Amino acid sequence: MPGLLSDALAWAAIITFILGSLLARRNERTARYVTAAAWTLFAAFWLQLVPYYAFEHKSYIEGFLSLAAVPACLYAGYLLYSGRDTLFVLSKAVAAMGVIYLPFETIPAFALFGVSIPAPKGVLMEAVAAQTKFLVNAFGYHPEFIAGDQGYLNTFLFMDGDHRLTISVVLACTGLGSMAIFGGLIAAVEAPLRRKFRALAIAIPIIYALNLLRTTFITITFGKQYFQFFVDEILLMFGSSDPYMVSFFISDRIISQFLAVLALVGITYLVVREVPELLTIIEDVLYMVTGDEYDLREALDLETPKSRGGSA
C-alpha cells in the first residue's frame, strides 16, 4: 500500500493547491506560480503510485489512469501558468477533494485527554463492511466476519473445501474517492448553495448505494468462486499464479471497474443538470485532451443559472 512518501506528496500538493486558491483573489500572478507548482507536485504524487496500482494492486485501469495523470497534471500547470485562468476552478476542486479524502487516508488512531479516537478510515471501513455483510446475508450467504490484517472488523472468510478465502473492505472499497471527487467539484464552483446541496443529494447517495452493491457483488462472487473462467488467461493478464484470485480479478478489476466508469458518467450528467457551472471544469479537461474549445452548455441544451431563477 502507499506509504509515507505518498501521504507526504499528497498533503504537499493539496496544501499548495489551497494556498494557490487563497491567493487567487489577492495576487493573481503569485497564485498562478503557486498553483502551477501544485500541479507539478500532484504529477509527482501520481507518478509514484503507478507501480503500486499496476503491479501490487494489479489494476490495469487504475495503473493506466495514474500514469496518464502525470502528463495531464504537468500540462494543466503549464496551461495555467500560460494564462488559462479557468483552470483555477479545477485547481480549487482538487484542493477540496484532498481536504475531504486525505484525513481518512492519513490520520491514525490517537488518544486525546485519555479518550481513544479511532482512525477515520477504520470507522468508515468497518461501517461499509457491516452494511456489506447485511446485504451478503440477505442474498443467502453467511461467511464468517472477522478482523482483517489492520485489526479492523472488515473481512469476510469463506471456505472452499480446506482453502481459506478472505476478502476485506479497505478504504478504496468505501466509495470515498468518488464522493470526494464530486464533493470537491461542487464545492469549487460559484453557484447558489441550494443548487450545490441538491447536487450533493443526488451524487452522494447514488455513489454510496452503488458502492455497497459493488462490494456485495465482489464478496459473493469471489467467496463462492463464481467467475472461474479463462483461468490461465486471466492469471497471465494480471501477473498472478493463484487460481483462486481469478473470480476476484474478473468481478473487481474488470466488471466492477468498467461499470464504475459508466456510473460516474451518468452521475456527472445528473449533477451537471443541477450545477451547470461544473461544465467549465469539464470543458477545461476536454481542452487538455483534444486541444479544442467546447461549449457544452449549448451542446447539452442546459439553461444558464440566471434563467433558472432565484429559487436556485
pLDDT in tens, the chain (312 residues): 567 888 999 999 999 999 999 998 888 899 999 999 999 999 999 999 988 887 776 677 778 888 999 999 999 999 999 999 999 999 999 999 999 999 999 999 888 888 889 999 999 999 999 999 999 999 999 999 999 988 999 999 999 999 999 999 999 999 999 999 999 999 999 999 999 999 999 999 999 999 999 999 999 999 999 999 999 999 999 888 999 999 999 999 999 999 999 999 999 999 999 999 999 999 999 999 888 888 887 767 676 554 343 333
In a domain, 264, yes or no: yes
**Is 132 in the same domain as 107?**
no
**Is 143 in the same domain as 272?**
yes
In a domain, 143, yes or no: yes
Q: For residue 169, what is its C-alpha cell? A: 473492505
DSSP string, the chain: ---HHHHHHHHHHHHHHHHHHHHTTT-HHHHHHHHHHHHHHHHHHHHHHHHIIIIIS--HHHHHHHHHHHHHHHHHHHHHHTT-TTHHHHHHHHHHHHHHHHHHHH---EEETTEEE--HHHHHHHHHHHHHHHHHHHTT---EEEE-TTS-EEEEEEEETTEEEEEE--GGGTTHHHHHHHHHHHHHS---HHHHHHHHHHHHHHHHHHHHHHHHHHHHHHHTTTT--SHHHHHHHHT---GGGHHHIIIIIIIIHHHHHHHHHHHHHHHHHH-GGGHHHHHHHHHHHHS----HHHHTTPPPTGGG-TT-
Instruction: Domain of residue 56: give its range.
Output: 1-114
Count of C-beta atoms within a 10 Å radius of residue 7: 14
**73 a catalytic residue:** no
**Is 277 in the same domain as 161?**
yes
Tens of pLDDT, residue by residue over 12-36, are: 999 999 999 999 888 889 999 999 9
Tens of pLDDT, residue by residue over 117-132, are: 999 999 999 999 999 9
In a domain, 311, yes or no: no
Rg of the chain taking only CA atoms, in angstroms: 21
In a domain, 305, yes or no: no
In a domain, 308, yes or no: no
Tens of pLDDT, residue by residue over 38-64, are: 999 999 999 999 888 877 766 777 788
pLDDT at 304: 52
In a domain, 49, yes or no: yes
In a domain, 35, yes or no: yes
Q: State the total domains in the chain.
A: 2
Q: Which residues pair with 115 in a beta bridge?
A: 112
Residues 91, 92, 95: CA angle, nearest 5 degrees: 90
| Residue from 32, 73, 195, 214 carrying the catalytic annotation | 214
In a domain, 307, yes or no: no
pLDDT at 174: 96
pLDDT at 303: 63
**Is 139 in the same domain as 67?**
no
**Is 34 in the same domain as 154?**
no
How far apart are the C-alpha atoms of 87 and 231, rounded to whole Å? Answer: 45
Q: Which of 58, 83, 114 is the last residue of a domain?
A: 114
How far apart are the C-alpha atoms of 299 and 227, rounded to whole Å? Answer: 41
**Is 128 in the same domain as 266?**
yes
**Is 226 in the same domain as 263?**
yes
**Is 236 in the same domain as 143?**
yes
Q: Which of 64, 83, 114 is the last residue of a domain?
A: 114
Q: Which of 114, 141, 158 is the last residue of a domain?
A: 114
**Is 66 in the same domain as 143?**
no
pLDDT at 311: 35
How far apart are the C-alpha atoms of 4 and 254, rounded to whole Å? Answer: 29
| Residue from 32, 173, 195, 253 carrying the catalytic annotation | 173
**Is 101 in the same domain as 124?**
no
**Is 211 in the same domain as 255?**
yes
**Is 110 in the same domain as 131?**
no
β-pairing verdict for 163-168 and 153-160: antiparallel
Q: Of 30, 115, 42, 105, which is closest to residue 73 (Cα–Cα)? A: 42
- Predicted TM-score (pTM) of the model is 0.88
